[in-house]
Each structure stands twice: as structure tokens, then as C-alpha cells.
Amino acid sequence: MQKLKQFITIIGSMNRGLGRISSFVLMLIMLFLCYEVVMRYFFNSPTIWVHELSGFSFAFYLALTGPWLLERKEHVSVDIVYSRFPPRFRLTADIIAYLVCLIFFVVLFWVGGKDMLHAFKINQHSYTVWGPPLGPVKLFVPIAAVLFILQALAGICDVIVKFREESAK
């Protein structure tokens, strides 16, 4: 039981830390876009890289904040229905939701990992004028999937701990 709680704490701390780091990525995106506006409208010299880099940075932001939101249980849910059921039913529903999440992200890891490896193998580049390599950007998909998988496993462990505490009452 102590090992489960320790695992939950470690994964939760990691995802909270990564979520905090991602707030700085949002500030970077804002700075990139402000730079573009100044260059375009004040110097009549638009950039070829800001919009695409902002999109890539947003992918990084999503890769870091998604598991953090899962840890905090702040994804979309139907609380009006969920809250009306007894605790054991809610815990069972949580286990089912985490298992579905786990299956989805294992598949995403597999497919995203294959796509990322292919992008590195063929040295895939974006089809824009800037044309940056896409391998590093596609790396965010399997990384995000691993973070989600770890958080889903921590969520399952948390439900197991709560089930045992509920049974002990």
C-alpha cells in the first residue's frame, strides 16, 4: 500500500512540475506572436517562422499540461451525474475511465512512436517556406503518451488505495 502511495506521489509531483514549466511555454508563444506583430506592422517585415514555431510550442504545451490536468482531475466530466452515485460506484467508474484512457494512450504511443521514428528516418521536414524538421516535434506525441500512461497508472493506484480505505471502514 505504501509503494502505491509513493508511486502516486512521484508521478503526481512530476506532472505538476511539468505543468508549471508549461506555463512558461505559453509566455514564449505570446512573445513569438508579439514579435511577429511588431515585425509585420511596424517594420513591414513579416517572419516565415513565428506561426509554425508557435504551433510547435503549443504541441509541447499540450504534451506537458494534459497529464497534469489528468492528475488534478480537471478534464471534462459529467459531475452532475457522477456526484449522485455512491462512492464505490464512483471508484468503479474511475477505474473504467482510467483503463480506457490507458488503452487509448498505449495505442497513441505505439502509432505516434512509429510516426516519429519514420519522420527521423526520412528526415521529414515541414512543407512551409521555413521547412523545419518534423522529427523533434513528432517526438512530443510519444512523450505525452508516456506521461499520460504514467498518470493513468497512478490514477488506477489511487483508486485501489481508496477502495481499500473504503473497505476498511
One-letter amino acid for residue 7 of the chain: F
Angle (nearest 5°) at CA 62 between 120 and 157:
100
pTM above 0.85, yes or no: yes
Tens-place pLDDT, residues 110-149? 999 999 999 999 999 999 999 999 999 999 999 999 999 9
Taking the C-alpha atoms of residue 108 and residue 99, their distance in angstroms, rounded to an integer, is 14
**Domain total of the chain:** 1
What would the grid cell of residue 6 be? 509513493
56: containing domain: 2-168
Q: What are phi and psi of 69, to 5 degrees?
A: -65, -40
Angle (nearest 5°) at CA 128 between 50 and 136:
70
Lookup result for grid cell 521536414: 125
Tens-place pLDDT, residues 15-71? 999 988 888 999 999 999 999 999 999 999 999 999 999 999 998 898 889 899 888
